[in-house]
Amino acid sequence: MQTTFTGKPVNRVDGPVKVTGRAQYAAEFSTGQTLHGVIISSTVARGRITGIDESAAMQVKGVVTIFSHKNIPTLAWLNFSYWDLAAPPGKHFRYFQTDEIYFSQQPVAIVIAETFEIARHAAALVHITYETLPAETDVYASLHKARKPKGSRIGIKKPKSRGNFSKAFAASAVTVKAEYRHGAEHHNPMETMASTVIYQDGGKLVIYDKTQGVFNSQQYIRGIFNLKFKNIKVVSPYVGGAFGVALRPQYQLFAAVLAALQLKRSVKISLTRQQMFSLGHRPAIVQQLALGASADGLLQAISHTAIQETSRFEDYVQAVVNWSGMLYNCAHVQMDYKLVPLDINSPADMRAPGAASGVFALECAMDELAYQLSIDPLQLRLINYAEKDGVSGKAYSSKALKACYLQGADKFGWQQRNPLPRSVKKGNKLVGMGMATGIWDALSIPVRAKAVLNAQGKLTVTSATADIGTGTYTIMSQIAAETLGLPLDDVTFQLGDTDFPLAFVQGGSYTAASVGAAVQKVCLEIKQDVFKLAKRIKNSPFKQCSLNDVVFSDGYIQLAGNRSTSLSLASVMQQSKTDRLKNTATALPNALQQMRYALNTHSAVFVEVEVDEDFGTIKVTRVVSAVAAGRILNPKTARSQVMGGVVWGISMALQEESVTDHHYGRYINHSFAEYHIPVNADISNIEIIFVEEQDDIVNPLGVKGVGEIGVVGVAAAVVNAIYHATGKRIRQLPVTLDKLL
Amino acid sequence: MEVAVTKFSFTKATDANDAVLKASSLTNAAFIAGGTNLVDLMKENVARPGALVDINQLPLHTITETEEGGLMIGALVTNAATAYNPLVEKHYPLLSKAILAGASPQLRNMATAGGNLLQRTRCYYFYDTATACNKRNPGSGCPAINGFNRMHAILGASEACIAVHPSDMCIALAALNARIHVLGTGGTRTIGFNGFHRLPAETPEAENNLQPGELITAIELPAEDFSSHYQYIKVRDRSSYAFALVSVAVALQMDGNIIKEARLALGGVAHKPWRNPVVEEHLRNQQISAPLLQDAAEMMLAGARGYGHNNFKIELAKRVIIRAINEAAGIL
C-alpha cells in the first residue's frame, strides 16, 4: 500500500459541516407536520402506578394524546423481540407496558402534542400517583447479596483463575490487600438522546435516531412492533458524542415509533439532560485486590474480586477482573466477579467498560505494592512484564508496552522523581507523580462496505457504521483514497443508514480496524475492476501489464517504471463508456490466524498532580500517555481520541459520580451543574505518544483502534500521584478534596 | 415530572414604577432580567410564575459615583460589566474578584446585579420536584438533612432547611457593607446588606426581606477603601463553573502589621452570606499573627454543625479564612 494518507494528520472531513452548523443531528430533522413528544419519568424507584390523571393535560389545546401502560397496544410478547445487539442477558425492559416501577426515572407516559412547548406544558399537568415500595439502591449495603452472573454476553469472557492463590499468597514475602470503590457514572454526551420518526404513506418509517448502530435500532423496532425491515429506514449521519449510551436503542426511540404508528403521524422526542440519568450507566463497583510478591518484586499471587450493581431484570456484565490475569506474569491468579441486583436501571457499556474500573483497582494495588517493596512503581511493572497473555497462554500479536513505559517515562521525566511520598513542595502545593498501565482489546468484527466509482473518477464508499465524533468519516476517506490513489476531495464516505451495507454498532474500539478492512477490501476490488477496464480500452498502455506493474496515484493509473505513462481514472471510465463501477465486499476477521494470538492495545500513563496542602484541592498539572495501538491511521484524530480518554480518566479520578439518594432511590445530582466533569481550566498539558506496532495479525491494515485505551489506567495514575504528593492513599473515587483534609 | 414549563404571560415594563405596578397586580408575577437562574428553574418546574415582567429595558444599566464617593451599581448592570468596570476594579477589586470566581463568562454576560442577589439555592432537592423540599413546597420536609448534603449549610441552618446561598458576588457585597435600593408601590427604601437575605428558620421559602412587588433598582457601595488589602478565595470541586463549597471574602485596612479594620464574609456555608461582627471587632487594631487568625477562624465557625457529607466544611472554612486574611494582609 502506498502511504499517501495513512499516518498523516488529515483534518476531519466532516469538520466544516459541524463547525458551521450544517451537520444535522437526530432531533434536527423534520417535516412540516411533525408532532412532539415529551416523556414523563417515574418519581419513585420501586412500586406501582396507581393512577394517571390526564384530564387537565388533555384539555390543553394542541395536545394530541397521552400514552401510558393504560392504553398502549399489545406488542411483541417474546423476550427475544426486545433484545438488541448490546443487550446483556436477562428480561429486557418493556417500556410503557407495565404499571410496575423498577427504577427511579423509569419512563411512564408520553405526552404528544402539536408543539414541543405544548407537550412540555401538558406533561406538567399529568398527575400520576404511585404505591411506593422500599427500594434497594445501595450496592455497598447489599454486598452480602452478591451472586454469580446468570447467562453470558457475547465478547465478555468469564474470568479464568489459575494456580493456587491462597497458598502462593500465604507464602509471599510482601503482600497488599485493599478494597477500591467507585460509584455510578453516566455517559452524558453533549447531544441528548433523540429520535425523529417520519411517517410515510403506506406506513413506512424513516427514523432519524441518535445511535451507534442504525441496524440495532432497526432490528429492535422491527421485533417489537412486528414491522418489515423494508419499512424501517434508520438514519444517523452525525452523533454528538455517545461513549456507549447510544449502543442500545433507548426509550425515546420506542416512544416515538409507538406514537408515529398509532397516530400515523411523524413524531419527534428528545430526552432532557435529567432524563439522561435514567439510562444505563457505568455501574458502582466494589473491588478487593490482594497481591503477593517475593522480596525482589516478582508477583507470586494476584486475587481480584469485583462486586457490581445491576438491575432486577438484566444481568449487565463487563470484563472487570479479567485484566488482572493478563497484565503481569504471575502463576497464581484468582478472579471472581459477582453481581448485586438493585432497583436501578440496567448499567451499560461506558467508554472502556470493565477495564476503566478493573484496571483502576489493579494499578492502584500495584502502586501500593511498589511502596511496600520499596521498588519504583515503573520498575515493578517491568519486573513483572508479561510477554504472553497469562489467561490464554497465547503470545500477543504485538505488544509494545515496554516501549510505552520507557518512552513515556523519558518524556515525563520519571527518573527525576523523588521516590519518597510527600517530599516535594511548591509553595502551598504538594507535588506528586504517579503512573499506571492501561490495556484494552484489539477486536475486529465482520463488516460490509460498498464502493461506487463514477464517470468523473469520483468515489463514493458506504457502510452503515457510525461516527460518534471519533473520526470514522475521516479515516475511512483516507483508506479509500489511498487504496485507489485518489485525492481526498474525490472520495466521499457515507455512513449511518440502513440502506448501506451491514456494519454493527460502533463500540469496543473495533471500528477503525473492522470498517477500515471492509473499505480497503472493496476499494481493492474497484481497483481491479477499473484496471481491467483500463487494459481493455483502445490503445491502452497497460495491455500487457498486470496490477503489479502499475501505481494508482493522484487519480491516475501510472506505469510503475515510467510514471508519465498514465491514464486518469476518469478517462478510463469515459473511454470505456462506463457510467459507474460498483462493488461490495465483506471483510471477515481472519479467525484462524487471530485465535492463535492475544490481541490487545496497551498504554503507560504518567501523571503529575499538585495538591493544596490546606484545602485538598487537586490539579492534574501534566499527563503523558504512551499508547501502543498498532498502526495509527490519523495521528490527529487518534490523538484527540486518546486526549479525550485522558480527560475522562481525570474526570473519573477526581470529579464524576452519579450520587444516589437512597431514601428516594434516585440520582440526585442529575444535571451538568452538579454532576461534574472537567472544565477547560481543570485540564493542563496532555502529551500523547504513539508507539507504533507492526502487526499483520490483527487485520490487513495493522490497526488496533484507540477509542477506549486512552481512559484505561488514568484514574489509577492520578490516585497514585496523589499518594506520592500527600502520603494519603485514597481508595474511593472520585477523590474530592474532603478526602484529603 | 421533570419536564415542564407551565404557561405564563409575558409583559414588558415601560419604567420602574410600571414594573412594580405590574408585578403587584398580576397573579404570581416574577421580574425577569438575565433569566440565568429563573429560566432554569422554570424548566425544572420549580419556579412556576404566572406572569413574567421583563425589566431589561429599564434605565438601570449604569454604574455611577455617588456624592459620598461610593458607587451606585444599577440593578441591570451585568455581572461581567460590573467586574470589569474601571471604577469597581480600582476601588472595589474584591467585588471584581468575587464576581469572576462565579459561573462562566457566558452566564456573567447575561446575569444582572439585581438578579445575582435573588438567585436561588443549588440544593439538589430544591431542584428535583420528585423530592420533598420546604423551600419549594413548604411543610413537605427537608430530605437534605438526612440525605446527600455535601454542599449544604454548616451555620445558621434550621430543622426546616439546610440550603446555602450560592452567590459569590454577594459574599463580597456583604463584606463591603453594600446597601440595596428598592422600589415598591409605597416608594423607595434602602436595605443594609446584612438585612437583605434571611436565615431559613421556619420559613425557608422566604429568602430575603423584599416585599411582594418590590424591585431592586441599585446596589450602593459605601465610600470605604479596601482596595489595597483584600482577598476572595473560593474552594470548589472544579476550577470553574462550580458553586463554592466554602468561599471567604476578606477586606482589610492595614497599618503595617496592624489590622485597622477587618471585614470577613463566608460563602457556601449558610443561607446567606455569613458575617460575624464580633470576629471583625476581635481583629481590629491587632497585630496580625497566627494565633490571632486561628482565634478568628474558630470564632467564625463557632456553633457550626455538619450534617454528614458536609462535615469537612467546618475545618476547611477555618483554613480558608486563615489563608485569605494572610493573603489580604500581604503575608503569604
User: How many H helices and E strands in chain A?
Assistant: 15, 31
Region B157-180: what's the mean pLDDT?
98
Check: CB of residue A229 under 8 Å from CB of residue A222: yes
Q: pLDDT tens for residues B241-273?
A: 999 999 999 999 999 999 999 999 999 999 999
> Per DSSP, which regions of A491-561 are E strands?
491-494, 550-553, 556-559
Q: Assess if CATH 3.30.390.50 describes domain B229-329.
A: yes
- Mode of pairing for the β-strands spanning A618-628 and A685-690: parallel
> Per DSSP, which regions of A613-672 are E strands?
618-628, 660-661, 666-667
Out of B128, B146, B238, whose CB is closest to A682? B238
- Give the pLDDT of residue B332: 54
Using the Cβ of B126 and the Cβ atoms of chain A, whether some distance falls under 8 Å is answered with no
User: How many H helices and E strands in chain B?
Assistant: 12, 13
Contact A668 B242 (CB under 8 A): no
Which three cell numbers mark A527? 481497483
- Give the pLDDT of residue A30: 86
Give the C-alpha separation, A194 to A268, whole Å. 8
CATH T-level fold of B9-56: 3.30.43
Cα dihedral: A370, A374, A375, A380 (round 10) = -20
Contact B128 A121 (CB under 8 A): no
Taking CB atoms and an 8 Å cutoff, what residues of chain A touch B1?
A: 40-41, 43, 123-124, 126, 128
Q: Is the pLDDT of residue B4 over 60?
A: no
Q: Do domains A15-21+445-588 and A31-134+189-272 have the same CATH topology?
A: no
Check: CB of residue A195 under 8 Å from CB of residue A252: yes
A54 is catalytic: no
Residue-range domain boundaries for chain A: 15-21+445-588, 31-134+189-272, 142-185+281-443+595-740
Q: pLDDT tens for residues B190-238?
A: 999 999 999 999 999 999 999 999 999 999 999 999 999 999 999 999 9
Contact A661 B147 (CB under 8 A): yes
Give the C-alpha separation, A221 to A77, whole Å. 14
**C-alpha A276: how far from its chain's center?**
16
Give the C-alpha separation, A712 to A731, whole Å. 17
Taking CB atoms and an 8 Å cutoff, what residues of chain B touch A120?
A: 3-5
Spans of chain A below 70 pLDDT: 1-3
- Give the pLDDT of residue B2: 46
CATH number of A15-21+445-588: 3.30.365.10
- Give the pLDDT of residue A32: 78
> What b-and-e string marks burial along A312-338, b requiring 16 or more CB atoms within 10 Å of the CB?
bbbbbbbbbbbbbbbbbebebbbbebb
CB within 8 Å of chain A, chain B residues 266-325? 312, 315-316, 319-320, 323
Give all strands of the β-sheet with B63-65 in edge-to-edge order: B63-65, B71-74, B215-221, B179-184, B187-192
Which three cell numbers mark B324? 485569605
Q: Pick the residue from chain B with its C-alpha nearest to A120.
A: B4
Using the Cβ of B8 and the Cβ atoms of chain A, whether some distance falls under 8 Å is answered with no
As its CATH architecture, domain A142-185+281-443+595-740 has 2-Layer Sandwich (3.30)
Out of B3, B128, B241, whose CB is closest to A272? B3
Contact B5 A117 (CB under 8 A): yes
Q: Pick the residue from chain A with its C-alpha nearest to B6.
A: A121
Task: Provide the 8-state DSSP code for A11.
Answer: P
User: The domain A31-134+189-272 belongs to what CATH superfamily?
Assistant: Aldehyde oxidase/xanthine dehydrogenase, a/b hammerhead (3.90.1170.50)
- Give the pLDDT of residue A113: 98
Give the C-alpha separation, B273 to B310, whole Å. 17
Contact A40 B245 (CB under 8 A): no
The 3-class SS string of B172-240 reads: HHHHCCCEEEEEECCEEEEEEHHHCECCCCCCCCCCECCCCCCEEEEEEECCCCCCCEEEEEEECCCCC
Taking CB atoms and an 8 Å cutoff, what residues of chain A touch B127?
A: 671
Q: How many CB pairs under 8 A join A and B?
A: 113
- Give the pLDDT of residue A155: 86
Give the C-alpha separation, A272 to A281, whole Å. 16
Out of B3, B128, B129, whose CB is closest to A668? B128
ipTM above 0.85, yes or no: yes
- Give the pLDDT of residue A31: 80
Taking CB atoms and an 8 Å cutoff, what residues of chain B touch A674?
A: 122, 124, 151
Q: Is the pLDDT of residue B3 over 60?
A: no
Q: pLDDT tens for residues A332-372?
A: 999 999 999 999 999 999 999 999 999 999 999 999 999 99
Residue-range domain boundaries for chain B: 9-56, 229-329
Q: pLDDT tens for residues B97-136?
A: 999 999 999 999 999 999 999 999 999 999 999 999 999 9
Q: Determine the 3-state secondary structure of A337 from DSSP.
A: strand
Taking CB atoms and an 8 Å cutoff, what residues of chain B touch A123?
A: 1, 3-4
CB within 8 Å of chain A, chain B residues 217-246? 235, 237-243, 245
Q: pLDDT tens for residues A523-580?
A: 999 999 999 999 999 999 999 999 999 999 999 999 999 999 999 999 999 999 999 9
Out of B6, B315, B323, whose CB is closest to A121? B6
Taking CB atoms and an 8 Å cutoff, what residues of chain B touch A736?
A: 237
Contact B143 A664 (CB under 8 A): yes
- Give the pLDDT of residue A3: 47
Contact A674 B131 (CB under 8 A): no
Select the residue from B46, B128, B145, B311 to test the A interface by mutation, using most A Cβ atoms within 10 A: B128
pTM for this entry: 0.97
